[in-house]
Amino acid sequence: MAELTQLSTPAQADQVLLANYNRVPVTLVRGQGCYVETDDGRRLLDLLGGIAVNLLGHCHPEVVAAATEQLQRLIHTSNLYFTEPQVQLAEALIKTAFPGRVFFGNSGAEANEAAIKVARKWGQLNRNGAYHILTLQGAFHGRTLATLAATGNAHYSDPFRPLPDGFRQLRKGDLGAVEAALADTERPPIAVMVEPIQGESGVFVLDDEYLRQLRTLCDRYQALLILDEIQSGMGRSGTMWAHQQAGIVPDIMTVAKGIAGGLPLGAVLVGKRADVLTPGDHGSTFGGNPVACTAALAVFRVLERDGLPARAASTGALLRARLMALGEKGLPIAEVRGRGLLLGIGLSRPLAQETARAALSAGLLINPIGTSTIRLAPPLIMGEEEIELAVSGIERALTQAQAAGAPS
């Protein structure tokens, strides 16, 4: 085998990696807790958490220990056989959410693909072969062809058309449009699929009453309610699952991101009403891998023991208030959206990209969405020290970006 070149710099990486990411020009080499370190020795406060993945921070010792022990015992089996970690994790999901059964994949997109397949088979069996699914404008459900069609964002989907048929996007918040679509006898929908908090479009929370009315409409018109909790779940919103704040139970729920503390894992929890899959309907070679499931069990233990969902609610409220106070000091913050530690800073000027660059210099990793939103999804272990660093760093970054004279 030829000697490998050290590929640590962005310029070197561009030679061997496809150009499908607009990467931040920094190379991360290690992480601990809420912080990461770069190849040139800088220490950065990670306020994005691997896009809501590093739920317990980087290299949480209990997750590392659990995964290491499992690595030494059994790494992979396929799903031709049972493993204890997979069954135990399914039980943990059901215990914290609602009665049902679980399918494991490797990512959020795979979880949503599985949910779509479950709904389509349910439509074949219960709705005379109907297959249309209603989703919302501003949604994001993944990058595969079916989940792109469910997402309905031309920016993501246009280069890959034609997309699979069977998805209709409606204005979020418009219950009349949902009811009219559900009552359509020519193209009767089999399901409504929504995120309780739309993360990728700027962190927009669907109102609790709106979610309750969606549940009512799905029951009235014999449709399934699918909740995509890939970003909002696992305690991030202040409760274990964001939909619990609305007091509803979906028919299908998808999970990924923070479930395994940094390892790749996705899951679909299917309630009894929608439980229609039989052997051969769906599968995944790596899904529910013993190492990832063991790591996820450690995540569940820490979340429950340390009360991290409630901590996310209180920490998020404090962070939100401190950020809003920056707007009162004349900085361009119009609002702070979200729940718990999934927050979107809505800017009054199109400074998101400039602010993110300035934040990197100030020692922070933050995520610009479009021109006017900054997304924050830090680890749930975030404390007062990290809040102080986050607020002071964002203040410096916004001040610098505003002084640079970006157009208003």
Q: Which residues are catalytic?
A: 140, 228, 257
Contact, 197 vs 204, CB < 8 A? yes
- How many C-beta neighbours within 10 Å does residue 212 have? 14
Residue with tokens 């997979």: 86
DSSP sequence for 46-102: ESSHHHHT-TT-BT-HHHHHHHHHHHTT-----TTS--HHHHHHHHHHHHHS-S-EE
Say which residues have a Cβ less than 8 Å from residue 160's Cβ, sequence separation at least 6: 145, 148
- In order of 68, 81, 208, 294, 296, the CA distances from 92 in angstroms are 21, 20, 25, 12, 10
In terms of Cα–Cα distance, which of 315, 364, 363, 354 is closest to 332?
A: 354
**Computed over its alpha carbons, how large is the radius of gyration of the chain?**
21
In terms of Cα–Cα distance, which of 44, 37, 39 is closest to 9?
A: 39
- Distance in angstroms (rounded) separating the CA atoms of residues 257 and 372: 24
DSSP β-bridge partners for residue 336: 345
- Distance in angstroms (rounded) separating the CA atoms of residues 383 and 303: 15
Residue with tokens 């309750």: 212
Which helix (H) or strand (E) segment is 313 a member of?
Answer: helix 308-328
* Coil vs helix vs strand at 185: coil
- Distance in angstroms (rounded) separating the CA atoms of residues 310 and 296: 19
Contact, 169 vs 135, CB < 8 A? yes
- Distance in angstroms (rounded) separating the CA atoms of residues 389 and 72: 38
* Coil vs helix vs strand at 266: strand
Token representation of residue 330:
């004349």
